[in-house]
Structures are given as structure tokens and as C-alpha cells.
């Protein structure tokens, strides 16, 4: 199969501050189009939405149980020959069940950062979900970005015959960028000529239906954490999440990180203060000696990952490691996930903000930029017209 590698598709990412959720907008429908805000989720297998928000149902088609469209969805079910699908709900504890349907979905395409036209995924398979008590405005459902065959990204790349990859630039404010089959990443001052966004590559696994990278070591201001030798031996599979707000760590990893960070912070004159739920380790914001483009001046945290010729590091600065809970207090923006979590490390959105992140299923690699804040730019920077 020959892939049209120079085509790419760009959708906006909006951050909803009250919930710390990130969503994009799709137009659903053929003649009458309904703009719906859908939460970005790297772990959802099939897009689901509240079909009561659709302005017209005339172009909506129910999928039969014995159809190929139903059979290709893992774990599908039936209700009077209507295809059903049940999957975990990233917004709540109960699973989401819904009728599998098809309609058109429209979004924009770009060439080197320039808007070209609206394009339409003529046949978009998704679920009209039930039990929607966990869905509240401005979100109308969840957009599937998983590596599964029924995800939105897989449907787009298969239908348009383009490279099976996606890229996210989650904004800390304003409007970010969501690329499907991204080739050109133009975020001023970066362009696609001599000044490209530098990226670091590491292997990526998708066998569990999630995007996983291997964390071999963790550093605080260059000092490796002291951990149980078996804990990070060979690398812990760290899941990347666009719905978990703050990185969640196994208790042993969290305690080691918090202890090392506190020692380094105290050496910088930053005092520890009482915890503020849900955060465990908090500090006197007035003791922090200044703030620069990467946030408050606090110890740098790095994840050591496998690279082509050895270990590479992914660095996180104050804007991504701290959260200000009051004028006087800032806290370490990580959660203690307990002793028996499903995943020992889940990297959340507070840490992912203001990085360009590329998930390439054609090469099984994950690529990440430096913090864009280091280059005096952000995911919401506007290209000059």
C-alpha cells in the first residue's frame, strides 16, 4: 500500500479549565452538521457521544450485528440485530454502552500549516451512548485516539491512506493542536524548513490497547532516585493519558520522588508546608526564587527512556511539575497511586502540556519535543498569516 505521506489533518484542542479536560470539535452529519465537543482519550477504543445533541438524525445509520463494521469491533454485542458496544468510561466508574452507528464527520486539513479545506470522513463509525450522567458541558462525548482499529485516528488514516500516526500539543491555555498523519509541525518560531521542532524518539508499545513507553530511571536535578532494584529493572511500562490530570505513580516511586525533590528544594531554600488535598507534598510558594519561561524555579524532574544509542531523558520543569493551590502554596503535581495500581506510572496531562507529542504506529515510536516554553513559545502560538 502506498501512503500519501504529505497529507495531514489538523484539529483544534481546547482546554476546559474547571475540569482540566482537553477536547476537540467534530462536525457530525451529512447535510445538517452538528458541532460536538469530544474529550480526547488515548485509551478509548470507539468514539462515543450523546446523540441527543445531534441536530438531525436523518443521515445516522444503525449498524447490524452481522455486518463487517460490527464484527471488526472487539467485544461487540447485539440487541435485536443492532450492534452494541460496551467500554470503560474515562469520565466515570461505570462502563459506557451504546448502539454502534455511522455518519459523516468533518474537520480541516492543512498543508505546511496553511488551511486548505474542510474534509469529511464519509463513513465514521461511533457509538450513541447510554448512561451519560458523567458527561457534562462543554463535553458531548469521547473521541477515541487509541491504537485500536476502530479509533477515530485509525479510521481517518485508513480511509485517506495516510501515515498511521497522531500528534498532540496540549495547551496550558488557549487552543492547542491535534494532528492526524502529521508531517509539518509549524509552531512559531519553528517552521518546516531550517528551523524544525527538535524531537527525541523512544520505542512505544500498544499491545494492551494503550500507548506505553518504558521508564528506566527517574532523576531529580540529575540525581537518580534510589528505588527497589527490581522496581525499574528493564523499565516500567508508563501509560500516556489525556484524561488523567496529574501523573500517578506507584507508592514506592512516588515516595522516592517526593523525598528526593524535597531534599533538593530545601537546599534551594524552599520550605515544606502542610499538604493540600489531593496533593501530598506542598511548599511555600514565597520561598521560590523567581519564575522564568518554564515556570517556578524548582528542581528539574527527568524520566530516563531507551533511545537508539542509549538512554535519553524527558525533562519536566516547574510549569509541569508544580501546581499552585493558593497565593502562598504550591504542590508537587503528582499523585500517589497506591501499592497495587493497574499501571505503575500513568503520565497525565499536567506533565504533557506544552510539549509536541507524536505517536507513530507505523514505526512503533513515541517522539517528544523539549518543553516549548524553553523556546519562548507554546502549543497555542499562532502562525503568522
Tell me the pLDDT of the chain (385 aa) as tens digits.
444 446 788 888 999 988 889 999 999 999 899 999 999 999 999 999 999 889 988 899 999 999 988 988 877 889 888 999 999 889 888 888 999 999 999 987 654 455 667 889 999 999 998 767 777 789 999 999 999 999 999 999 999 999 999 999 999 988 899 999 987 788 888 876 667 888 999 999 998 899 999 999 999 999 999 887 666 545 688 999 999 999 999 999 999 999 999 999 999 999 999 999 999 999 999 999 888 899 999 999 999 999 999 999 999 999 999 999 999 999 999 999 999 999 999 999 999 999 999 999 999 999 999 999 999 999 987 654 3
- Quick one: pLDDT at residue 92? 83
- Quick one: pLDDT at residue 314? 98
CATH domain 8-180 topology? Cathepsin D, subunit A; domain 1 (2.40.70)
Q: 237: part of which helix (H) or strand (E)?
A: strand 236-240
- Quick one: pLDDT at residue 194? 65
| The three grid cell numbers given for residue 2, joined into one nine-digit string | 502506498
Q: 202: part of which helix (H) or strand (E)?
A: strand 199-203
- Quick one: pLDDT at residue 224? 95
- Quick one: pLDDT at residue 91? 83
In the chain, CATH 2.40.70.10 covers 8-180, 199-369
DSSP annotation of 384 reads: P
- Quick one: pLDDT at residue 384? 44
- Quick one: pLDDT at residue 282? 98
CA distance 47 to 126: 5
Per CATH, the homologous superfamily of domain 199-369 is: Acid Proteases (2.40.70.10)
Q: 317 — phi, psi (to 5°)?
A: -110, -175
**pTM confidence score:** 0.93
- Quick one: pLDDT at residue 135? 78
CA distances from 258 to 40, 111, 205, 227 (A): 30, 44, 28, 12
Q: Which residue has the cell 450485528?
A: 65
Q: Which SS3 state, helix, strand or coil, does residue 291 take?
A: strand
- Quick one: pLDDT at residue 234? 59
Q: List alpha helices for the chain, DSSP H.
A: 68-71, 152-159, 251-267, 318-321, 349-352
- Quick one: pLDDT at residue 4? 47
CA distance 370 to 179: 18
Ramachandran class of 269: left when φ > 0, alpha when ψ lies in -120 to 50, beta otherwise: left
**Nearest alpha carbon to residue 218 among 299, 309, 337, 305:** 305
Amino acid at each position: 500500500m502506498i501512503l500519501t505521506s504529505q497529507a495531514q489533518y489538523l484539529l483544534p484542542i481546547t482546554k476546559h479549565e474547571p475540569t482540566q479536560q482537553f477536547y476537540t470539535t467534530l462536525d457530525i452529519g451529512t447535510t445538517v452538521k452538528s458541532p460536538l465537543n469530544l474529550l480526547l482519550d488515548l485509551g478509548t477504543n470507539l468514539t462515543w457521544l450523546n446523540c441527543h445533541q445531534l441536530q438531525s438524525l436523518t443521515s445516522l445509520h444503525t449498524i447490524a450485528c452481522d455486518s463487517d463494521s460490527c464484527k471488526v469491533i472487539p467485544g461487540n454485542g447485539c440487541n435485536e440485530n443492532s450492534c452494541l458496544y460496551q467500554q470503560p468510561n474515562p469520565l466515570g466508574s461505570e462502563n459506557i454502552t451504546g448502539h454502534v452507528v455511522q455518519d459523516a464527520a468533518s474537520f480541516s486539513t492543512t498543508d505546511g500549516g496553511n488551511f486548505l479545506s474542510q474534509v469529511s470522513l464519509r463513513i465514521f463509525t461511533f457509538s450513541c451512548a447510554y448512561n451519560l450522567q458523567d458527561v457534562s458541558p462543554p463535553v458531548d462525548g469521547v473521541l477515541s485516539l487509541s491504537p485500536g482499529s476502530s479509533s477515530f485516528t485509525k479510521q481517518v488514516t485508513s480511509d485517506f491512506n495516510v501515515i498511521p500516526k497522531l500528534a498532540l500539543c496540549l495547551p496550558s491555555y488557549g487552543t492547542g493542536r491535534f494532528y492526524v498523519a502529521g508531517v509539518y509541525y509549524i509552531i512559531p518560531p519553528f517552521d518546516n524548513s531550517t528551523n524544525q521542532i527538535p524531537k527525541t524518539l523512544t520505542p512505544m508499545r500498544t499491545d494492551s490497547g494503550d500507548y506505553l513507553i518504558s521508564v528506566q530511571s527517574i532523576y531529580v536535578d540529575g540525581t537518580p532516585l534510589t528505588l527497589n532494584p527490581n522496581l525499574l529493572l528493564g523499565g516500567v511500562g508508563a501509560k500516556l493519558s489525556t484524561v488523567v490530570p496529574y501523573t500517578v505513580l506507584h507508592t514506592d516511586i512516588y515516595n522516592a520522588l517526593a523525598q528526593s525533590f524535597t531534599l533538593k528544594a530545601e537546599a534551594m531554600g524552599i520550605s515544606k508546608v502542610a499538604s493540600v488535598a489531593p496533593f501530598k507534598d506542598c511548599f511555600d510558594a514565597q520561598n521560590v526564587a523567581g519564575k522564568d519561561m518554564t515556570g517556578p524555579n524548582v528542581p528539574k524532574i527527568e524520566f530516563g527512556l531507551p533511545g537508539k544509542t542509549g538512554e535519553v531523558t524527558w525533562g519536566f520543569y516547574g510549569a509541569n511539575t508544580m501546581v499552585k493551590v493558593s497565593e502562598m502554596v504550591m504542590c508537587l503535581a503528582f499523585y500517589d497511586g497506591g501499592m497495587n495500581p493497574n499501571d505503575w506510572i500513568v503520565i497525565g496531562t499536567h506533565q504533557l502540556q506544552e510539549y509536541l507529542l507524536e505517536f507513530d504506529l507505523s514505526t512503533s515510536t513515541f517522539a517528544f519535543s523539549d518543553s516549548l516554553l524553553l523556546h519562548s513559545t507554546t502549543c497555542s502560538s499562532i502562525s503568522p498569516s
